[in-house]
Structure 1
Amino acid sequence: MQESSWSQNSDSLSEFSLENPELAQEEQGIAEDLRNQGILPSEPNSLLPSFPHHLYRGRRGKAAVALTIIWGGTISLHLVSWGAWVIWGLTGLLWIQAFRVLLARPKPTPPPLNEATQENWPYISLLVAAKNEEAVIGDLVKTIASLDYPTNRYELWVIDDYSVDKTPEILAQLKSVYPQLRVFRREANAVGGKSGALNQVLPLTKGEILGVFDADAIVTPDLLRRVLPLFEREEVGAVQVRKAIANASLNFWTRGQESEMALDSFFQQQRTAIGGIGELRGNGQFVRRSALDSCGGWNEETITDDLDLTIRLHLDQWDIEFLAFPPVSEEGVTTTKALWHQRNRWAEGGYQRYLDYWRLIFRNLMGTGKTWDLFGFCVTQYLLPTAAIPDALMSILFRRLPITTPLTVMTITLSLVGMFVGLRRTRRDMKLAENNVFVNLWPTLRGTFYMLHWLIVMGSVTARISVRPKQLKWVKTIHQGSDSA
C-alpha cells in the first residue's frame, strides 16, 4: 500500500479555489446571498472564535517533562519499600471505575425519525475532505446522495485538497448528476490539513448538524434518520457512529482491526452510559453547529482533529453520544507499514490533547465523572505503555516481576472482556445466526494479541515527541476502493 504526505501547518485558514470558473461564480453567488441575509459574516474566519494558541506551545517541553516524571516515578517505585502498595492502591481505585463501566447498561437507542414529522427535520451538512481519492470518491458521493432523507434538507460538501489524480474530474462529473453535491478545490499551498479544509468550507455550510466522513466511508440509507434523534437532548454536542472494517476478512491486520473496533464500540457505549467520555473517531462523526462554533471550529494545530475536538467539547460542557447501529464502514489498513504510520498518528494526536489541555482538565471543567473517566483511560492507554520500558529494566535489575503488573493484568482483562462482549453485540446487531461463545472467543484472543502493537507505538511516540520538534505532518492512508473489500 502506498502512502502520500498531507502536511498540516499551524497557519490560519487559507483561500480556496473552485475547480473551474463557472463553478466558482456559482459558489461565490451562494456565499454573497448568505452574507446579504446575515447568515455569514463579511469575512469567513470571523464566524469562528479565536483559538487559544498558547495552549499548543511547548509541546516538546511538556512531553519531555511528562516522560521524565513517568520514568523517574517508575524507577522510584522500585527503590522504595512501599512502591508496590502505590500501584495496588491505584489499581484498586481504577477497578472501582472499571466495574462501574463493565456493569453499566447501555443507553437505549431512540427510534429513527418518523415520516410524519418530516417538515421539522433539521438541515444537515455532510463534509468530506478528500486528497487523491479517485478509487473511492465516486462510490462515496453516490452513497451519500442516495440517503433516505429529503434531498432539499441536506447537502454534501467535498473539499478537494488539491488532488493530483482523477479526483477533480470525477467530482466535476458527479456534480452535474447530484444537485446536493458542492465541490471546493483548494490551492496547492493551502494549509491546515484536514482541519483546514473543514474550517475553510464551514462558513458556507447551512446545516444545523454537520457530519464528517472519510472518503472511503460506506453507510446505510437510513443513517441520518437514526443519528438525528440522539441530538434531541440539548446537551448533546456530537454523536459518533460505530466504525466497522469493510475488508476485515483480508488478513491478520484487518481482522485485528475488526476486533479493535468492537472493543472501541463496547467502551464507547459503557462510558457514555455512566456519564463518562464519549469520543469522536473522525469518520462518521456528527457535530451540532452551535457546539462547534462555541469551541472555535476544528483545530489546525493537531494531527487528530477528532480527538482534539472531543476534549474541547467536553471542556465546554457538551456531551458526546454513541450510535452502535448502523455503523459506518471503512477500509482497514492492510500492511504493517501502513498500520505503523496510522497508529503513530493516532497515538501522537491523542497524547497531544493531554499536553495541550492538562491545565483545563485538572480544573475539572468537565465534571468529576468525566475527569475521572478520562484519567483512567489515560493511565491504561498512555502512562502504562510509557512506563513499561523503565519498569522492565528495573525488574531485570532486581530480578522480580514488573511493579506495574497489577495495572497490566487489569488492562488485559478489560480488553478481553470488552472485545468479547463488543463482538457479540456487533453480531447481534447484524442479526448473524451464529453468535455463541466459541464463535467470538477466537477473534477475541487474536484481537488481544493484535492489540499488543499499541505498547510499542505508545512507548515510542511518547519518547519521540519529547525530543523532536513539533511537526504537523502525517502520512495519509491510501484507499483502494471496492477491490480491497
Structure 2
Amino acid sequence: MKIMQVQYIDLNQIQTLLKVINVEYQSYLPKWAMIYIAATGTIASLLAAVELAIFVSPMNSTNKYNVDDLKKKLSYYPLVSIILPSYKEGDLLKRALKSINEQTYPHNKIEVILAVEKDDNTIDKALDIVGLSNCKENCCSSSMGDIKTKIVYGKGNGKPSALNEALKCVEGEIIGVLDADDILTKNAIITAVSYLVNQDIDAIQLPREVILDKESKKTFKGAHIRAQEAEMFLYTKLLAPVMEKLSGISWVMGSGYFVKKDVLNKLGGWEEKAATEDLDLSIRMIASGYKIKVISESPVYTEPVRNYSQLITQKERWVRGMLLLVPKVLRHPRKSWPLLSIYLMPIAEYATILWPIMAPYALKYAIIAFFIEFLIGFASYYTIYKRVGKTIRPLPIILAIYGITSWIALAKLVIGRAHEWKGTRLTKGIKVSKK
C-alpha cells in the first residue's frame, strides 16, 4: 500500500514569483503601452482633425435649375427604372408609389419594379395600385396609369439580393433605388436625369431629409428622431459638398440615388454579401473611375426609425459594413482617401477605449491623449453647430448610438456573422407620417 505524500504550497515561493512577474510587467508593459497610446492617440486625433478641417472648409455651391430649365436642357428623355424593395412595409409602399405617380418626368418614360417577398402579407393593396395582384412570376408586368410596372420576388437574402433580382428585369438606361419608406418630391426624377444626361456624372444622390411630425420636433421622446435628421443634414448639406470640393468624390447612401445601367452592369450589380451595399457600390465605382455627385435640390423624404432597438439594428449594420469595407478603401488610397476619416473612426474607437486596460501604469498619458482627441471632436461639433444652427444639436445622441453599435458590430465579426443582413423595420410599431 502506497502512502500519499501531501505537498504544501510554499507561500514564500509564490510571493517571490509574483514579484518577478511584477518587475517584468513593469519593465516591459509601460514602454509598450506608451507606444500604443502614442500611435493610437495620434491616429485618432488626426482623424478627428481631418473631420474638423472638412467642417471648417468653404461650402461647395451647387448649380440649381428650375423645372423648365431642366426640360430645356434635356435633348431626350431616357427610360428610368425605379427599383423599390419592400418587406413588411405595405402602408409605406403605397405612399412611395404615390410619390412616383406624381413625378413631372414623362410617365411613359418611367418603369417601376417592386422587389418583394412571397411571404409578405402587407402589400396586397399596393399590388392592386400597380396592377400586379395576379403576378406570381418574376418580371411579370402591368401598369399604373402610363407608368409600366413589374414585380420581382426575392429569395429572402436581404436588400442587395433583391436589387440584383430586379436588375435582371430592368429595361431603363438609368436605374433609381427607392426604399418603401421614402417619398420623392415631384421633380426628383427629372432633376437626377438632367445631371446624368447633361454632365459627366455616373450616379446622382438626391438629398435625404427625415420626416418629422409635431411630437418628434419638440419632445424629449423624439430626440433620437431629430438626431437622425441631424445626421442626414450633416452629410447632404455639409460633409458631402465639402468632400466633393476637396477630392471630387462622394458616395450614394441607401436610397434616393440614380445610376447609369451600363455602369451597374460593368460592376456586376450589387455585392450580395455586403452589409452596406450602397457603400460597397460607391467604393467600387470610385475605384473604377466613375463619378458620383450629391446634389442639394429635389430632396427625398424618408420615414425615421422610431424604435431604439430598430435604430441600433440599423446603425450596427452600417458600422459593420464600414469595417468590412476598410480593406477595399485602403486598396485604392489615392482615389478614396477622403473616406478614410469616416471608415477608420470605428477602429480608432476600439483602439483608444483600450488605453486604460493596456496601460495601467501610463493611465495619465492615456487621459491626456483622450482629452486631446475629445477637444478636437468637440471643436468639430461646435464648428458645425455655428455653421448650420440648431438642426445639428441632437447629433451627439446618434454618435452615442454609433459608439454602442460599434462593439456589437465587432462581436458579430468575431463570431462569424460578418455578412448578416437584418432589415431595420418591422410591421409592428411603424407609424406612417404624411408629407
- Smaller-chain TM-score bracket: 0.7 to 0.9
* TM-score normalised per structure 2: 0.78
Change in Cα spacing, 1:306 to 1:420, as seen in structure 2 (3 Å) is farther
> What amino acid maps onto 1:137 in structure 2?
L
State the Cα deviation string for residues 130-172 of structure 1 (Å, max 9, x = none): 1122111112111101101111222111122224323034313
CA RMSD of aligned residues (A): 3.0
Cα distance in 1 between the residues matched to 2:241 and 2:199: 19
Indicate whether 1:102 and 2:68 are aligned. Answer: no
Change in Cα spacing, 1:413 to 1:208, as seen in structure 2 (3 Å) is farther
Indicate whether 1:158 and 2:130 are aligned. Answer: no
Which of 430, 433, 451 lines up with 2:399 in the alignment? Answer: 451
Residue in structure 2 matched with residue 320 of structure 1 by the alignment: 292
Secondary structure of residue in 2 paired with 1:135: helix
CA contact (8 A) 2:152 2:165 kept: no
Deviation (angstroms), 1:276: 4.8
> What amino acid maps onto 2:338 in structure 1?
D
Residue in structure 1 matched with residue 351 of structure 2 by the alignment: 387
Change in Cα spacing, 1:363 to 1:99, as seen in structure 2 (3 Å) is closer
Residue in structure 1 matched with residue 432 of structure 2 by the alignment: 482
State the Cα deviation string for residues 291-313 of structure 1 (Å, max 9, x = none): 21221101111122111111111
State the Cα deviation string for residues 111-142 of structure 1 (Å, max 9, x = none): 25533355513221111011122111112111
Ranges of 4+ aligned residues in structure 1 off by more than 4 Å: 75-78, 232-235, 394-397
Change in Cα spacing, 1:148 to 1:419, as seen in structure 2 (3 Å) is farther
Q: What is the 5 A alignment of 1:151-230?
A: 151-175=107-131, 177-186=144-153, 190-230=155-195
CA contact (8 A) 2:243 2:249 kept: yes
CA contact (8 A) 2:34 2:362 kept: no
Deviation (angstroms), 1:405: 3.8
Residue in structure 2 matched with residue 406 of structure 1 by the alignment: 372
Change in Cα spacing, 1:170 to 1:228, as seen in structure 2 (3 Å) is closer
Deviation (angstroms), 1:393: 2.9
State the Cα deviation string for residues 68-112 of structure 1 (Å, max 9, x = none): xxxxxxx98862369537744874587367435631331422425
Deviation (angstroms), 1:404: 4.3
Indicate whether 1:138 and 2:98 are aligned. Answer: no
Cα distance in 2 between the residues matched to 1:93 and 1:454: 16
Secondary structure of residue in 1 paired with 2:369: coil
CA contact (8 A) 2:55 2:383 kept: no
Cα distance in 2 between the residues matched to 1:202 and 1:295: 12
Please identify the structure whose Cα radius of gyration is greater: 2
CA contact (8 A) 2:209 2:229 kept: yes
Residue in structure 2 matched with residue 287 of structure 1 by the alignment: 259
Cα distance in 2 between the residues matched to 1:317 and 1:178: 39
State the Cα deviation string for residues 326-384 of structure 1 (Å, max 9, x = none): 221111111221111111111112221224x25xx3354xxx2x4321222233x3222
Secondary structure of residue in 2 paired with 1:184: strand
> What amino acid maps onto 2:149 in structure 1?
R
Indicate whether 1:84 and 2:38 are aligned. Answer: yes
Which of 224, 232, 256 lines up with 1:253 in the alignment? Answer: 224
Query: Percent identity at matched positions?
Result: 19
Q: Structure 1 stretches of 5 or more lacking a match?
A: 1-74, 425-439
CA contact (8 A) 2:33 2:359 kept: no
Cα distance in 1 between the residues matched to 2:360 and 2:150: 59
CA contact (8 A) 1:247 1:484 kept: no
Residue in structure 2 matched with residue 236 of structure 1 by the alignment: 201
Indicate whether 1:148 and 2:104 are aligned. Answer: yes
Q: What is the 5 A alignment of 1:285-364?
A: 285-355=257-327, 357=328, 361-364=330-333
Task: Single out whichever of 130-139 and 463-472 deviates more from structure 2.
Answer: 463-472
Change in Cα spacing, 1:233 to 1:354, as seen in structure 2 (3 Å) is farther
Residue in structure 2 matched with residue 417 of structure 1 by the alignment: 383
Change in Cα spacing, 1:77 to 1:180, as seen in structure 2 (3 Å) is farther
State the Cα deviation string for residues 259-297 of structure 1 (Å, max 9, x = none): 111112211111111125412111201111122122110
> What amino acid maps onto 1:447 in structure 2?
L
Residue in structure 1 matched with residue 139 of structure 2 by the alignment: none
* TM-score normalised per structure 1: 0.71
Task: Single out whichever of 152-161 and 117-126 deviates more from structure 2.
Answer: 117-126
Indicate whether 1:263 and 2:234 are aligned. Answer: yes
Task: Single out whichever of 228-237 and 202-211 deviates more from structure 2.
Answer: 228-237
Q: Structure 2 stretches of 5 or more lacking a match?
A: 1-28, 132-142, 217-221
State the Cα deviation string for residues 2-58 of structure 1 (Å, max 9, x = none): xxxxxxxxxxxxxxxxxxxxxxxxxxxxxxxxxxxxxxxxxxxxxxxxxxxxxxxxx
CA contact (8 A) 1:124 1:153 kept: yes
Change in Cα spacing, 1:316 to 1:412, as seen in structure 2 (3 Å) is farther
Cα distance in 1 between the residues matched to 2:250 and 2:30: 34
Secondary structure of residue in 2 paired with 1:210: strand
Cα distance in 2 between the residues matched to 1:124 and 1:247: 29
Residue in structure 2 matched with residue 473 of structure 1 by the alignment: 421
CA contact (8 A) 1:253 1:335 kept: no
Residue in structure 1 matched with residue 9 of structure 2 by the alignment: none
Deviation (angstroms), 1:256: 1.2
Deviation (angstroms), 1:411: 3.2
CA contact (8 A) 2:89 2:180 kept: yes
Secondary structure of residue in 1 paired with 2:172: coil
Deviation (angstroms), 1:454: 1.3
Report 1 or 2 for greater relative contact order, CA contacts < 8 Å, sequence distance ≥ 6: 1
Secondary structure of residue in 2 paired with 1:244: strand
